[in-house]
Homo-oligomer: A and B are copies of this chain.
Amino acid sequence: MKNEHRVKFINSLSGFKSANLVGTSSRRNDDNLAIISSVIHLGANPPLIGFIMRPHSVDRHTLENIEETGVYTINHVHSGIVKAAHQTSARYHREQSEFEQTGLTAERFDGFHAPYVAESKLSIGLKLVEVASITHNGTEFVIGEIQWVRTDEAAVQNDGFIDLEALGTVAVSGLDRYHTTKGLCRLSYAKPDKEPTEIPLAGPDSDD
């Protein structure tokens, strides 16, 4: 396999990935926005989210800004902003803001240095807590604690679960393919002596 084909093949193997925009701003208030597909849930108590930063990544400005200011935002990509989100991965100069270049809007909450994406339907404000180095290939695992969440309350179900389809959130496969989704089922908490049953989107009927 040619090297560039191999890269696309390996990138497809992990399965579907999340599509998020990381919003940061330098100490001098240069805003930066970068699409990433490696955001993962790390734990609910404390509420932690991680993502991978590649060593020779196009967008080292993101990590520099996070380390300078200690804060960043993660913003879901929905189908209406897929092209603009993808375009943030172009190799712009540091002084060019990807917000301006792609037409996305930087907004901020008072007292929180990093901008969120106004067009996104779910934004998370995070405070950096740890950068874990993966020695084997020089990547860095950037871990943040959730400070605030901005989303449409109508998408939040009775039991806390968020209906990502109601938000239009997309998934990514490989380097460059975007997907909408269709709910197949929610399944009950698994127990050894019982088959899992489908539960309604709004959550289980009882505390069972």
A interface list, Cβ under 8 A from B? 1-20, 37-50, 52, 54, 74, 76, 79, 82-83, 86-92, 96, 101, 122, 124, 129-130, 132-137, 139, 141, 143, 145-146, 149, 156, 159-162, 164-165, 169-171, 173-192, 194-196, 199, 201, 203
Contact B178 A134 (CB under 8 A): no
Q: Is the CB of B187 within 8 A of A82?
A: yes
B7 in contact with A44 (CB, 8 Å): yes
State the number of copies, please: 2
Supposing A7-B44, A90-B192 touch, asked if A180 and B182 sit within 8 A by C-beta, the answer is yes
Query: Which of A164, A184, A190 is most buried by chain B, counting CB atoms within 10 A of its CB?
Result: A190
Return the contact of A40 from the options B2, B40, B91, B184 (Cβ within 8 A).
B40
Cβ A136 vs Cβ B130 within 8 A: yes
